[in-house]
Amino acid sequence: MEHEIRKKSFRFLSIARLETIRQEVVNMISAIYERRSTRKFLARNISKSDMTDIIQSGMKAPSSKNRQPWKYIVVQGDAKEEMLRVFRQGIAREENECALLPQSKRYISAAKHTVDVMEAAPTIVFVVNSLGKNEMGEMTPEEHVYEICNIQSIGASVQNMLLAATEKGIGSLWICDIYFAYSELCEWLNSEGQLIAAIAFGYPDEFPEERPHKRIEDIVEWRS
């Protein structure tokens, strides 16, 4: 009798767990379709608990050979203001002196706007490839393959973080304009590894329309 009760209890628990998992999958798919790049933020801080949840979601991403090549540097408050000052110095250098991206100067005005967006966001997270080498250094073909695999892994980590933030009602902006001030930001961060990306997080003060996407017919090739 007791054995039968335990079996029934386990069955009900399993059904409840399956329903929980199903709902979590529904929420994840919803977050994929609802995520937007946020460029206007409310003057409202994100709790450390929520930021920890977001980062832990990033840590759950798959990685090549389970190397988990990520490090996250969370920048807020006075540290953020100092970082923005350094960022603007780097953009000025890129614009007027020795440019790392000379063919991309037409995007500098957009980079300046990105810094203004970051100023409004309460939290910036820099994502570093902890196993990365200097982007200017020479690599063997094998090292280059490892680098590609690690960056793929970090991309998955960043996407997990964006989706976790979306589910919490927190906006985000994945930032690649850091490369206009790359050397300055790397020096300021003073962290081993290779800086890959930055993400601005904050409660959104806008709800942008979905931007156009390519048609699936134009980008998918089916083979059988």
pLDDT for res 60: 97
Amino acid at 3: H
Q: 33-75: per-residue pLDDT in tens?
A: 899 999 999 999 999 999 999 999 999 999 999 999 999 999 9
Query: Is it the case that residue 12 has pLDDT exceeding 70?
Result: no
Tokens, residue 219: 């980008």
Number of other CB atoms surrounding residue 165 within 10 Å: 27
Amino acid at 181: A
| Domain ranges, ordered by start, for the chain | 1-34, 37-219
Q: Are 72 and 58 in contact (CB under 8 A)?
A: yes
User: Which class would CATH give 37-219?
Assistant: alpha beta
- Strand ranges in the chain using DSSP code E only, listed in sequence order: 70-75, 123-129, 171-175, 194-202
Q: What is the pTM of this model?
A: 0.86
Query: What is the C-alpha R_g of the chain?
Result: 21
Number of other CB atoms surrounding residue 174 within 10 Å: 15
Residue with the two structure tokens 């450390």: 48
Mind giving me the DSSP string for 126-147?
EEEETTPPPTTS---HHHHHHH
Tokens, residue 175: 């930032």
Share of the chain above pLDDT 70, in %: 90
Q: 137-188: per-residue pLDDT in tens?
A: 688 899 889 999 999 999 999 999 999 999 999 999 999 999 999 999 999 9
| Stronger pLDDT, 23 or 13, i.e. the higher one | 23
